């Protein structure tokens, strides 16, 4: 019992403890000016940086415009596609937020690791199928059932077009080989990554007439982890709108072909005094300096378009189109003018 302290030693020890501040009080962090404290959720770690998220958002905004134009040509009606959000969440949160049944497409995206997911909401899917089969764009209550084999083939045209436009959106970052590996109706039966794995959810809102619905593209973090540095670069900025396709040109041409356009022919210009203008009566003649053989200008909706020669046709005043306004024009003879 040689280690037992005597009374004096105990009093000295207790006195020293009373004078020393607690350890938690002796170590104080230096205060920082305007320090902001934010909570961190360990269940939803943000593994994708803000710069990468901005890059993904910019890429898919252009993708939405191009996909809307292509889908409009396919369905022969106006379809508006708008990017609504680019978020990070866990795979389990994404799956449980979907309807059941739905159109759950597993997509191979070589050389990225793993698979991507394209989910099409049934409220949007069945009106699109109806439109492909010749139906109208009126909204109807969506059928809550899995797709039939015929409907899956029709949906394949919509998803193939989605993958084509997605390939173009990513071509400045990395060339992708995209194809649909599997289509499921129950999203909870498919697990491509662990439930707590972080995914990037890119959501689009589609408007087809009175029908609105969502399309969701799910990209697991492990698929883009190795190319995150490329998403930080400026290579994605060069992505721009693709040239018009023959289908989109035909669609726009069909819609404007019956439009009414106002044509105006400028015969001559002249200046007269105000008193002469007030005194004009029926049968008066206004002299101009314009040559009778000179061509006149034809304007469409206020824009000069053609050179023309004035004349008559079947007893009515008419003009003959000679050339576009931006092309050189030979001098019009009196005979050409009279034959108009």
Instruction: Please spell the DSSP secondary structure of 73-122, one letter per residue.
Output: HHHTS-EEEEEEEEEEEEHHHHHHTS-SS-EEEEEEEETSSSEEEEEE-H
Q: 238 or 224: which carries more pLDDT confidence?
A: 224
Cα separation, 66 vs 117, in Å, equals 20
Query: Does residue 338 have a pLDDT over 60?
Result: no
What pairs with residue 179 in β-bridges? 108
| Rounded average pLDDT over 74-86 | 90
- Start-to-end CA distance of the chain, whole Å, equals 133
Quickly tell me which residue has 């207790």 as its tokens: 14
Q: Quick one: tokens of 104? A: 């759950």
Share of the chain above pLDDT 70, in %: 81
| CA neighbor of 92 nearest in space, from 194, 245, 218 | 194
User: Whole-number mean pLDDT of the chain?
Assistant: 80
What pairs with residue 213 in β-bridges? 206
Among 35-39, 157-161, 238-242, the range scoring the smallest mean pLDDT is: 238-242
CA 238 to chain centre: 15
**pLDDT confidence of residue 239:** 45
Query: Does residue 160 have a pLDDT over 90?
Result: yes
Query: Does residue 83 have a pLDDT over 90?
Result: yes
Q: Are 220 and 197 in contact (CB under 8 A)?
A: yes
pLDDT in tens, 103-123: 999 999 989 888 999 999 888
CA distances from 44 to 90, 197, 199, 200, 332 (A): 6, 9, 10, 12, 78
The domains found in the chain, sorted by start residue, are: 50-254 (3.40.1550.10), 263-276+292-338 (no CATH)
Exposure of 300 in the CB half-sphere (CA atoms within 13 A): 10
**Burial zone of 319 (CB within 10 Å; 0-12 exposed, 13-18 middle, 19+ buried):** buried
pLDDT in tens, 162-191: 999 999 889 888 899 999 998 998 888 888
Query: Does residue 278 have a pLDDT over 50?
Result: yes
Helix, strand, or coil here: 164? helix
Tallying the residues shown for the chain, one arrives at 340
**pLDDT confidence of residue 204:** 94
Classify residue 121 as left (phi > 0), alpha (psi -120 to 50) or beta.
beta
Query: Does residue 266 have a pLDDT over 90?
Result: no
Q: 313 or 327: which carries more pLDDT confidence?
A: 313
Share of the chain above pLDDT 90, in %: 18
Query: Does residue 36 have a pLDDT over 80?
Result: no
pLDDT in tens, 185-233: 888 888 888 888 899 999 999 998 888 889 999 999 888 888 877 876 4
| CA neighbor of 128 nearest in space, from 94, 97, 99, 162 | 162
Q: Are 227 and 220 in contact (CB under 8 A)?
A: no
**Residue 240 — very low, low, confident or very high, per pLDDT cuts 50/70/90?**
very low
Sign of CA dihedral 250, 252, 254, 258: negative
pLDDT in tens, 319-335: 888 888 887 766 544 44
Q: Are 312 and 340 in contact (CB under 8 A)?
A: yes
Cα separation, 288 vs 267, in Å, equals 10
């Amino acid at each position: 019992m040689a280690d037992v302290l005597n009374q004096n030693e105990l009093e000295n020890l207790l006195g020293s403890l009373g004078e020393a501040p607690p350890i938690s009080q002796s170590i104080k962090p230096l205060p920082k000016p305007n320090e902001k404290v934010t909570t961190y959720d360990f269940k939803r770690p943000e593994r994708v940086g803000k710069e990468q998220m901005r890059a993904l958002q910019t890429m898919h905004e252009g993708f939405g415009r191009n996909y809307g134009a292509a889908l409009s040509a396919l369905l022969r009606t106006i379809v508006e596609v708008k990017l609504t959000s680019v978020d990070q969440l866990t795979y389990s949160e994404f799956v449980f937020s979907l309807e059941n049944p739905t159109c759950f497409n597993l997509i191979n995206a070589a050389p990225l690791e793993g698979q991507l997911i394209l989910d099409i909401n049934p409220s949007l899917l069945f009106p699109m199928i109806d439109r492909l089969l010749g139906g109208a764009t009126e909204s109807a209550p969506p059928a809550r059932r899995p797709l039939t084999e015929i409907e899956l083939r029709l949906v394949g045209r919509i998803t193939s077009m989605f993958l084509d436009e997605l390939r173009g959106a990513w071509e400045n970052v990395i060339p992708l080989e995209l194809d649909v590996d599997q289509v499921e109706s129950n999203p909870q039966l498919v697990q491509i990554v662990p439930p707590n794995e972080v995914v990037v959810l890119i959501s689009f809102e589609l408007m087809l007439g009175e029908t609105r619905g969502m399309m969701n593209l799910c990209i697991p973090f492990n698929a883009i982890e190795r190319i995150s540095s490329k998403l930080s670069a400026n290579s994605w900025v060069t992505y721009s709108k693709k040239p018009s396709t023959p289908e989109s040109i035909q669609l726009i041409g069909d819609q404007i072909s019956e439009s009414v356009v106002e044509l105006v022919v400028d015969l001559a210009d002249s200046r007269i005094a105000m008193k002469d203008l007030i005194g004009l009566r029926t049968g008066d003649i206004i002299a101009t300096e314009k040559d009778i053989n000179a061509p006149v200008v034809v304007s469409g909706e206020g824009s000069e378009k053609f050179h023309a020669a004035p004349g008559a046709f079947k007893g009515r005043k008419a003009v003959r189109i000679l050339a576009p306004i931006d092309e050189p024009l030979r001098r019009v003879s009196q005979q050409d003018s009279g034959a108009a």
